[in-house]
Chain A
Amino acid sequence: MILFDRVSKIYASQTRPALDAVSLEIEKGEFIFLVGPSGSGKSTFLRLVLREERPTSGQVWVAGKELSKLSNWKIPGLRRQIGTVFQDFRLLPNKTVAENVAFALEVIGKPKSHIKRVVPEVLEVVGLEGKELRRPDELSGGEQQRVAIARAFVNRPMILIADEPTGNLDPGTSADIMKLLDRINQLGTTVVMSTHDSNIVDQMRRRVIELDGGHLVRDQSRGVYGYAQ
C-alpha cells in the first residue's frame, strides 16, 4: 500500500536531511504508529505520502503508483484515496458539523443526493449523531476531532493519515479517538498515525516505526512506544 525506497528529504533551507534513506513497506490494512522525538521527520514522512512534498532522492509508492511520476493533475485523485487528520482539527469555524463533512464532498464534485446520504452515515460511525448542526466552537476537542475524522473517512479512503491526532486531547478523550481509529482500521482502511503518546502505543500493541533525526531506527510489529520493555 505504501512503499518507501531509500527516501531522503532535505528541505531547501536545511542542510541536515529531515529523512535519510528511509526504506519500509506498509501493507494494506495495517495500523502503524510513527514515533520519534520532535523533529525526527514524522510529519515529513506523512507529507511525502500525500505528495505535499517531493523526496530529494528515492521513491515513494502509494497504491501501486510512484509519486514522482504522478503528473500534477493526478494528485487530487491520489488525495481522494487518502484521508487526513491533524492535531489542530482543521475545521471550518463558520460551517456546521454536517457542512464541514459535506464540504469535503462538495469540493470534489459529488452530487447532492450522494452527500445527503453519506454524511449522516459517517457522522453515526464517529458517534456524532444529534450534533450535526453544531459549529466547531460548540464542540469539545474530542468531538471536533471526530468531525475531522468523519471528514477524512467519508470517502472511505484506502489510507488514513493522522499526524498526532490526540496531541491536543486529554487521555480519556484520546482513548476514545483511538477506539474510533481502530474501528476505521477494522473497516479496511490502512492507518498511519504519528504520535508522542506512549500510553496509546503501549496499549494498542500495533506495528511501531521509530524515526530519529531522519533515520529509521526501529520497525517492530506489536511494538511499544520506547525501547524500555
Chain B
Amino acid sequence: MRATFVASEVSSGLRRNLTMTLAVIITVAVSLGLFGASLLVRAQVTTMKDFWYDKVEVSIFLCSKGSDTPSCSGEAVTQAQRDQIKSDLESLRPLVQEIFYESKADAFKRFQEQFKNSPIADNVTEGALPESFRVKLSDPTSYEVVASAFAGRPGIEQVNDQRQILDKFFRLLGGLQLIALLIALSMLVVTVLLIVNTMRVAAFSRRRETGIMRLVGASNFYIQLPFLLEAAFSAGVGALLAIVGLIITKAVVIDQILAPSFQFTSFVGWDAVFAIAPIMFVTGILLAGLAAFFTLRKYLRV
C-alpha cells in the first residue's frame, strides 16, 4: 500500500468532483446538524424535567368554612383531622420527602408577595385562601399514591399535582422533538442517497482508471479505497461543520440569548454537547460507510 499514491488519488478525485464534494459536505453538515439539534432538544427536555420535577409539589388543600366539596360538608377542617392527615403523610416516608404546612395566614402572605404589583392582591382577603399541606415526593411520578390516599377524605377539599400541568408541556416538547428527529432521519436518508449518487458519478468518471486497475491486478481494496476515503473525507468534514454549528448553538444561542431571557429554567450543559458531538461524527462516518457499501459492491467489482 502506497500512502502517498492513494492520498494523491483521493485529493485529485475530490477536486475533479468539486461541486459534488461541496454538495455532500453541505448536505452532511445540514442533516447531521439537524440530527444533533434534535438530540440537543431531547437533552434539554430531560434537563428541564429534572429541574422542574425537582421543584413541583403535591398540594393537599384543606377545607375552609363554606367549602361546597362533599368531603368538607361546609365545615372547616378540624384540628383532629389536620393532625391525622399530617401523621398519615409522615407514614408515607420515604416517598414523601418533605412536608410543609401552610396556614391561611401564610397563604395570604405568599399571595400578597406573588401578586404585589397586581390589583388582584387587593381583592383577596385573609381567610379566602385555603390552608394546605405542601408535599414534596422523592419520586414525582408516584403522585397517584398520594392522590388515592388523600383525595376525598373528610377535611380535604382537593389534592392538586403541579406535575400534571408540566407533563402536558413536556409531552408537547417531546412531540416537537420527535418531529425534528424524524425530519433529521429523513435528511440522513437523503444524505446517504446523495453520497451513493456521488460515488456512482465518481466511479463512472474514473471507469478508465478503475478498468485499468482491474486489468493489471489491483486488489479490490486498492481500487475501492480512494472512493471510500473520498466519501469518508466529505462526510467527516460535513460532520465537523455540524459539530461546530452545535457548539455555536450552545455557546451563543443557548448561553448568550436564551439563558439570560428565561431564567426560570435551566438549560443543557456542555456535557450534553460533548456527548452528542461524537454521536454525530460517528453517524456521519457510518453514512459514508453505508453509502459505500451499496455503491462499491455494485459498481466496482472485480
Chain A residues with a Cβ under 8 A of chain B: 50, 72-73, 75-82, 84, 90, 92, 103-104, 106-109, 111-112, 151, 155
Contacts and interface: CB of A to CB of B under 8 A. Distances in A.
Taking each of A90, A92, A106, A151, which has the highest tally of chain B beta carbons within 10 Å of its own beta carbon? A106
A10 B211 CA distance: 23
A90 B208 contact: yes
Given A106-B5, A109-B1, A112-B2, A73 B220 contact: yes
Given A75-B302, A90-B208, A92-B209, A107 B222 contact: yes
Interface string B197-224: 0000000000011011111111110110
Contact of B215 (A77, A81, A84, A92): A84
Given A90-B208, A92-B212, A107-B222, A79 B2 contact: no
Interface residues of B, number: 18
Q: Which residue of B211, B213, B217, B302 has the most chain A CB atoms within 10 A of its CB atom?
A: B217
A104 B218 CA distance: 8
Contacts of B2: 106, 109, 111-112
Greatest chain A CB density within 10 A among B208, B215, B220 is at B215
A73 B219 contact: yes
Nearest to B302: A75
19 contacts: A72-B220, A73-B219, A73-B220, A76-B219, A76-B220, A77-B217, A78-B217, A79-B214, A79-B216, A82-B217, A90-B208, A90-B215, A104-B212, A104-B216, A106-B5, A107-B212, A108-B216, A108-B219, A109-B2
Contacts of A75: 217, 302
B209 A109 contact: no
Contacts of B302: 72, 75-76
Contacts of A80: 216-217
B212 A90 contact: yes
Contacts of A155: 216
A152 to B, nearest CB: 8
Contacts of B216: 79-80, 84, 104, 107-108, 151, 155
B70 to A, nearest CB: 82
Contacts of A79: 214-217
A82 B215 CA distance: 9
Contacts of A104: 212, 216
Contacts of B222: 107-109
Interface string B1-43: 1100100000000000000000000000000000000000000
Contacts of A92: 208-209, 212
Interface in B225-261: none
Contacts of A90: 208, 211-212, 215
A81 B215 CA distance: 10
Task: Indicate the member of A50, A104, A151, A155 with the most B CB atoms within 10 Å.
Answer: A104
A107 B218 contact: yes
A111 B212 CA distance: 19
B209 A76 contact: no
Contacts of A82: 217
Contacts of A72: 220, 302
Report the 7 A-B pairs with minimum CB-CB distance, sorted nearest first: A80-B217, A79-B217, A107-B218, A104-B216, A76-B217, A76-B219, A107-B213
A149 to B, nearest CB: 13
A49 to B, nearest CB: 12
Given A75-B217, A78-B217, A80-B217, 5 more contacts: A103-B212, A107-B212, A107-B216, A108-B216, A111-B2
